[in-house]
Amino acid sequence: MSNRVYRLFVGLILLTGLYFDLPYLIYGLIGVLLFEGITNLRIPILVSKIRYHNDGDMSEGTLGLSFKQRFNFDAERSWRLLLGSVLIVVYVIFFDQVWYLTWFMGFAIFGAGLSGVCPLFISLKWLGFR
C-alpha cells in the first residue's frame, strides 16, 4: 500500500463520517492517526513489508524535488500527528464554530490521494522533515 492510497482512504473515511454523522468513525480515525504518528507503526509500511518485503517508496509524493533535511523526523509521521491534532481541535472542541474546516480537510486529503500531491506533505518536506 502506498501513502497515496492511504491518503485516499483517510479522506474517504473522514468524508463518510461527516456525511453520515458518524462521530465514532472520526474518533477512531483520529486515534489511528495519532497512534501511527506517536509510534511510527504506519499502515502503508506494514502492508508493504507483508506484501512486497520492502518499506515502500520513500520519495513518493515529493514530485521529484529534493529537499534539505534539517530534522531527523519523518514528514509522514509529522503529517499524521498534525492531522490528528487539527482534527481534535476542529472536530472535537470547536465543531459548532468551524464545522466547514473538517469538510475542507476531508476533500483536501481525498484530493491528495487521487492526485498523489499533498501540499501539507510537501510543505513539511520543505521545512526540513525527513
Sequential pLDDT tens for the chain (130 residues): 788 999 999 999 999 999 999 999 999 999 999 999 999 899 888 888 888 887 766 667 777 788 889 999 999 999 999 999 999 999 999 988 888 999 999 999 999 999 989 999 999 999 999 8
Break the chain into its structural domains and give their ranges: 3-56+64-127
Three-state secondary structure call for residue 37: helix
pLDDT (0 to 100) of residue 31: 97
**Residue 38: Cβ within 10 Å count:** 12
pLDDT (0 to 100) of residue 58: 65
pLDDT (0 to 100) of residue 100: 92
Question: Nearest to residue 10, comparing CAs of 107, 125, 94?
Answer: 107
Q: String of b and e for 53-66 (b: at least 16 CB within 10 Å)?
A: eeebeeeebbeeee
pLDDT (0 to 100) of residue 66: 85
